[in-house]
Amino acid sequence: MIALAENRYGKGRVRLMKVTRHPQGHEVREWNVMVLLQGDFETAHTLGDNSKILPTDTMKNTVYSLARSSSATSMEEFAMELVEYLLSRNPQVSSAEVSIASTPWKHLTIDGAPYPTAFMRGSEERQTTHVERARGAAFRITSGLENMVVLKTADSAFSGYIRDNLTTLPETEDRLFGTSVKATWQYAAVSLDFDAVRHRIRETMLRAFAHHKSKSVQETLYAMGEAVLQQEPQAEWIELGLPNKHCLLVDLSRFGQENPNQIFVPTDEPHGYIEARLRRKA
């Protein structure tokens, strides 16, 4: 006999651009939204009975309609509103979750000043949030960022590791350390100045990355997470994923040239990958 176990459904890649028009200028927010529902959907799977199915097309419409009426300015608040809306109107839904990734836009700087109605898209870094609520339970809010690409050209070593018959990596006290940071943290509260906290957490991670005398990606990852938990009481835990995007020193001795850490080949593959979660001790 076969049974339906975990299941959920929803709508992904709902793209939204919201333009807020102040007298002194405009603001733009670009969000990519995903909505997922869990609930009493067994007969849809087993009998083709759609009577409890909210179409994913309607979820898309809900995102746009709510974006118009909402006064939320942070992704976290808007995601909470969406979750509430979906739970309140759909008794068959046991749990709703909303993920949002935002694309950075900045006012163009023209003649030294921000131009009020013209914008430039920023880097591939994305600010993210994931808000989930089971009916009758509390909100679970994790926020984060991904694809924050950074590089240290000093204060990065890697030595003292295991050496065996398959070791070919030379030990080094001075290498390039490039990575694309993915971070996720969980909030202790549902009522916060989310954008301000996010900004501080991001700055804290960057400061730790820049200042760290790194003996390994592991050690730098830990230093970044530790700094966040020490300085930001609203973050209950933080998880960091750091691919090691290797920059290979070119062997120029074959051509009679020295290469004192100047000429490198940046590579995308293969890459090291280090991930860890840091939490507060009881």
Site for its own copies in 177-236 (CB under 8 A): 206-207, 209-211, 214-219, 221-222, 225-226, 229-230
> Does 140 participate in binding its own copies (rule CB under 8 A)?
no
> Is there a catalytic annotation at residue 11?
yes
DSSP β-bridge partners for residue 241: 182, 275
Does 139 engage in binding with its own copies (CB under 8 A)? no
Residue from 169, 173, 191, 253 that binds its own copies (CB under 8 A)? 169
Residue type at 128? T
CA-based nearest residue to 218, from 126, 156, 162, 166: 156
List the structure tokens of 156.
Answer: 């990065």
- Three-state secondary-structure class, residue 60: helix
Q: Is 60 labeled as catalytic in the residue annotation? A: no
Q: Which is nearer to its own copies, 135 or 152 (CB)?
A: 152
Pairwise CA distance, residues 175 & 214, whole Å? 10
In the set 26, 52, 56, 107, the catalytic residue is: 56
Task: Tell me the β-bridge partners of 141.
Answer: 131
Q: For its own copies, how many residues bind (rule: CB under 8 A)?
A: 135
**Does residue 72 interact with its own copies by CB under 8 A?**
no
Q: What is the spatial distance between Cα 272 and Cα 277, in angstroms, rounded to a whole number?
A: 17
Contact map string, positions 9 to 28, toward its own copies, x by CB under 8 A: xxxxxxxxxxxxx----x-x
* Cα 270 to Cα 119: distance, rounded to the nearest angstrom: 36
User: Contact 280/237 with Cβ under 8 angstroms?
Assistant: yes
Contacts of 162 (CB under 8 A, 6+ apart): none
Contact (Cβ atoms closer than 8 angstroms) between residue 125 and residue 145: yes
Binding test (CB under 8 A) with its own copies, winner from 73, 90, 94, 234: 90
| Active-site residue identified among 60, 212, 245, 246 | 246
Q: Select the span of 72-80, 135-143, 188-196, 271-279 touching its own copies (CB under 8 A).
A: 271-279
Could you say whether residue 39 binds its own copies (CB under 8 A)?
no
Least separation in angstroms between CB 117 and its own copies: 4
Binding residues for its own copies restricted to 43-62, rule: CB under 8 A: 44-58, 60-62
Residues belonging to the active site? 11, 56, 246
